Every structure is written in C-alpha cells, then in structure tokens.
Structure 1
Amino acid sequence: MTPNDTIRLTAPDGATATVALHGGHVLSWVPARGVEQLYLSPRSEYAPGKAIRGGVPVCFPQFAERGPLPKHGFARTMAWELMSQEQGKDDALAVLRLRDSEATRAIWPHAFELELSVRVSGRTLDIELACENTGQEGDAPLRFTTALHTYLRVGDLDAVSVEGLSGLRYFDSIKQAEALQRMDLLLTGEKGVLDLDRIYFDLKERPLLVTEDRRQVVIQQQGFDDAVVWNPGPERCAKLADMPPEGWSEMLCVEAANVGRPVELAPGESWVGRQSLSLP
C-alpha cells in the first residue's frame, strides 16, 4: 500500500492510529506512552477485492456467512473515501465514507451511505460506524448485520480472560449450538477453548474487560447489541493463507456486532454504532 492509501492520526499527546482507505480499515492503535494494541497479520494481502487480516475490519452488510453475500459482506474489500482529517486540542479524527455503487447494487440492491469515524486520544480509541438508507420514499427497507471485527494483540493467550460475558446466551459457531456463559471467559489453552467462535447476544452497553496479566483493555459499545469472541486456534489458523501458523497465539478478536437482530432502516433512516477501546 502507498502512503496515499493510509491515513495516520496523531493526537497532541502522541497517541496514534493508522487507517487504510481500502476497507475503511483501522490498521494500528498505539495509545499515548503505550505500545501497539492491535494484531495485524504479516501475511495480510493489500490488494483490490482482498480483505486485510487483522486490525479492525468493517463487516457490512452481512456478518460471516449468515446470508447470500460474500463472507462478512463487501465493505471491508472496497475503497473508501476520506471526508475529513483533523487534529484537535486533545485528539485526532478521521472520517471516511462508502456509498453504494453499481458493484454493490449488483449483489445488494440498496442505496446507502456508510460513514466511519476514527478518533484517537490519550489511551482511548473510538470507532463509530453510521449507516443511512439513502433510498427514495417507497423503496424497500434495507436490512443488515454488521460488526467491528477488532483483533486485539496479546502476548500470552493462556493469560487472557474476558470479563462481562457471564450470564449471557451465546451461539457457538464451532459446535453449531446455543449455550449459556456461566462465568468469565478464561482462555486456558485447552483444545476447544482456543478454537473459539461465539456470538454473545444482548450484551447491549455492558462493558467488557480483557485482562492479560497486568494489562487491561476496557471495551464499551453503543448501538451494537451483540459481541463476538473469536480465535481460530492452531488447526484452523494453519489453514489460513494470510496468517502465520503461530498467529492464533498472538491475537483475540472481541467484536462489537449486530447479528441476532438485523438492523432495518426505511428510506431516510439511519443507525449508529460505536466501539471504544481504552487502557485504564
């Protein structure tokens, strides 16, 4: 990718984020006085029509393979437009846009406008995704599922826990069965725990705390009802061409999502979802 394809945000306090126009994709987040917090695969493909592996992909208008569209939809593989970039007194912000085109309407016949806002400041990264149905009165409403597919970088997956999921119903995409999370999620390294693909329903605005030894990341969301926790484990990771064989041990996806109940927008209506990541 060339420098023109990426936007680097630098807040006055030194916090940085990097965003690719390809896919509207956050590639990097380094908090003030901190280190890289996102996992980006060294084998990622930066090519038209290809999804970047790692960072924060935008899944829209379909999550995973739950529908007729390509996996995770088309937003993560299309070129977005930079609308604005600015540095404020305490932060840095970029706003990107994706509109419907002949290519999108060929597979998803709706008029829409997506806006992605990425703000970095201090020890916080805010990512906001907005969608407007730009169709005409009388057009059919559009329905979509979506997620901010955040890859957190970890040093020792065995030392990671996720608090805040206890008591939630989830769908296990590996076992194709529903279950109840009875306690905090502990990643112990046991087979079947690391091969992890779960959709937790009705999280709403409940905060999550991802802990690895002394490091903690607080994750909060608004507008997204669900959360997805994913790690491919060693066997599945070995089959991913754009991941190194050991990549599974260096990441954990914790995603803000709307999967259980699709968002439905009549012409002129809009929806906004946000995921905020912060280090205490």
Structure 2
Amino acid sequence: MSTIELTAPDGARATLSLHGGHLLSWRPAGAPEQLYLSPRSEFVPGRAIRGGVPVCFPQFAERGPLPKHGFARTLPWELVSQEQGRDDALVVLRLRDSDATRAHWPHAFELELSVRVGGRSIDIELACENLGDAPLQFTTALHTYLRVADLDAVSVEGLSGLRYFDSVKQAEALQRMDLLLTGEKGVLDLDRIYFGVKERPLVVTEERRQVVFTHQGFDDAVVWNPGPDRCAKLADMPPDGWSEMLCLEAANIGRPIELPPGESWVGRQSLALL
C-alpha cells in the first residue's frame, strides 16, 4: 500500500499509509519507535490495520448501526499536501464521501487528517466539514497504540476523579486514583471510556520514559488493552502482543459531535516524549 514518509530537519520521523489515513510509525528525534504496529497486520484493501493510530469515524466501536469503528480506517485517503518546515514536517490527507460511505452513512462530508512531527512531539489533527444540506452526527477517536516494553511497569496519570464506562463489565465506575497496570490482573480485558477528560494532560509513565498526551476538541479518552485471552483470539495480533502495547485514545463518545450544514469540527491529539 502507498505510504508517506515524514522527516523533520532534526531527524524526527513519521510514516503514514493512505489506506485508512493511518499513522503507522512515530520516531522522535534521537529516540526509538513509540507506536506499536502488529507484525500480523493485514495490509489489504477493506481491512483495518492493527496498531499505529487508526481513525475511528463516524462511529466508535459497536456503539451504533455502522461497521465497528466506522469506515474511515478501511478506505483509501488522498494526499493533499506534504512539506518540510524549519523545525518540523507536515502532511495533510483527505477523505470525502463516496458511494462506499453513503451506503452506510447518507451524508456529504470531508475529513482532513493533519500530522506534524518534529523534535520529541507529534500532533495529529482530525477535521470534519459537513458538506450536505442536513445536520450530521458522529462519534470518533484517534485509536493510538503506544508501544511499551513492560506493561506491568506502566501507569497512566490524569484520570483520577473521572467517571468511566467499563465496556467489559458493562457498568459505570469512578476512577479514584491513577491507573496502575501492575500484575496480570490489572490488564485483563481493560476497555474503558473516560468521560470529561477534555484538555487535562494524561501521562503514561514506564520507568524512565514518559509520554504526555494532550487533547483539544476531544471530550473523552479510551484506555484499552485486550489482555492475553482476548489477544489470543485476534488473528492480526501475536499471542504476546498485548504485553507490548497500551491504547490511549482521544475520543468523542459520550456526547456525539453534531454539525449543521456548512459547519466544521476540529480535534487534536498531541504526544510528547519527555
């Protein structure tokens, strides 16, 4: 499949696939790969890529009548522009409505995905414009797979005090402290939607490494890891893949985005390696 390589003047790099508008790789300046990409991903038309940063649109998961996570991650996107600046590199991709999208979702729209990389950070911006003559509504997420070396040594700070929906237990609960992923029981079927995160920073810590996630335009966040049992049932993941990744996703799920005709929405997720 067609891929695009971004290289900033300082050596920071990112790789994207036009299939799904999918960020596959992020290597900050002077640092190793930060994203997890399954070695069993199927890079074929119509199938989602496992890992990196899939774009979930216009539906998150199975919370609606559309295919799981919508159609944006399985369709071809087009390259709009690519450039290298003094301090960074930028690419813009586009997805417009087509016969394939209207078969599932009868709306005229335009999505733009902008990825900017430089130094120790990466910005991922998703924008949607309603090109039709009727209002549209959608949920969305940037389904970021962060690579980790030892999941037992990982914590997520910034979620304390937030209400969340546990998609495994199908119940709501309150996060009373930082999320500590210590011991096997801590990562079995971890699938939570945290509401009202908004612009508070979330920090993933693993020994001496920290990655700070900040969001703009996204109200919620998802934390997901399939654990060993569910991972073993995923054909596009190795059996031990669950121990090498943690998904932390900027999302709008609890309150869908509503766009009148001619209006636009923009959401951004930024990652910084400390």
Quick check: TM above 0.5?
yes
Which of residues 7, 12, 22 in structure 2 aligns to 1:10? Answer: 7
1:159 aligns with 2:156: no
- TM superposition shift of 1:195: 1.6
1:263 aligns with 2:260: no
Tell me the equivalent position of 1:246: 240
1:210 aligns with 2:204: yes
Alignment of 1:50-129 (within 5 A): 50-129=47-126
Q: Please tell me whether the aligned partners of residues 215 and 267 of structure 2 are also in contact (alpha carbons under 8 angstroms).
A: yes
Tell me the equivalent position of 2:180: 186
Which region of structure 1 is more displaced relative to structure 2, 181-190 or 154-163?
A: 181-190
Give the Cα–Cα distance (whole angstroms) in 2 for the partners of residues 104 and 163 of structure 1: 38
- TM superposition shift of 1:134: 0.4
Q: Write the deviation string for residues 124-168 of structure 1: whole angstroms up to 9, x where unpaired.
A: 0100000000013xx2x1000000000000000000000000000
Identity of aligned residues (%): 84
Q: Write the deviation string for residues 100-146 of structure 1: whole angstroms up to 9, x where unpaired.
A: 0011111100000000000000000100000000013xx2x100000
- TM superposition shift of 1:170: 0.0
- TM superposition shift of 1:55: 0.1
Name the SS of the counterpart of 1:107 in structure 2. Answer: coil
Name the SS of the counterpart of 2:103 in structure 1. Answer: helix
Structure 2 counterpart of 1:250, which letter?
Answer: E
1:175 aligns with 2:172: no
Tell me the equivalent position of 1:23: 20
Q: Please tell me whether the aligned partners of residues 187 and 194 of structure 1 are also in contact (alpha carbons under 8 angstroms).
A: no
Which of residues 36, 45, 48 in structure 1 aligns to 2:33? Answer: 36
- TM superposition shift of 1:192: 5.3
Name the SS of the counterpart of 1:235 in structure 2. Answer: helix
Q: Please tell me whether the aligned partners of residues 163 and 209 of structure 1 are also in contact (alpha carbons under 8 angstroms).
A: yes
1:277 aligns with 2:271: yes
Give the Cα–Cα distance (whole angstroms) in 1 for the partners of residues 127 and 104 of structure 2: 21
Q: 1:116 to 1:152 in 2, by over 3 A?
A: same
TM-score, L = length of structure 2: 0.99
- TM superposition shift of 1:194: 3.2
- The Cα RMSD (Å) is 0.7
How many residues matched?
A: 274
Q: Write the deviation string for residues 216-243 of structure 1: whole angstroms up to 9, x where unpaired.
A: 0000000000000000000000000000
Structure 2 counterpart of 1:143, which letter?
Answer: Q
Q: Please tell me whether the aligned partners of residues 24 and 96 of structure 1 are also in contact (alpha carbons under 8 angstroms).
A: yes
Q: 1:153 to 1:127 in 2, by over 3 A?
A: same
Name the SS of the counterpart of 1:236 in structure 2. Answer: helix
List structure 1 runs of 4+ shifted beyond 4 angstroms: none
Q: Please tell me whether the aligned partners of residues 61 and 69 of structure 2 are also in contact (alpha carbons under 8 angstroms).
A: yes
- TM superposition shift of 1:53: 0.1
Which of residues 185, 197, 201 in structure 1 aligns to 2:195? Answer: 201
Q: Please tell me whether the aligned partners of residues 180 and 186 of structure 2 are also in contact (alpha carbons under 8 angstroms).
A: no
Tell me the equivalent position of 1:237: 231
Q: Please tell me whether the aligned partners of residues 142 and 265 of structure 1 are also in contact (alpha carbons under 8 angstroms).
A: yes
Give the Cα–Cα distance (whole angstroms) in 1 for the partners of residues 238 and 187 of structure 2: 20
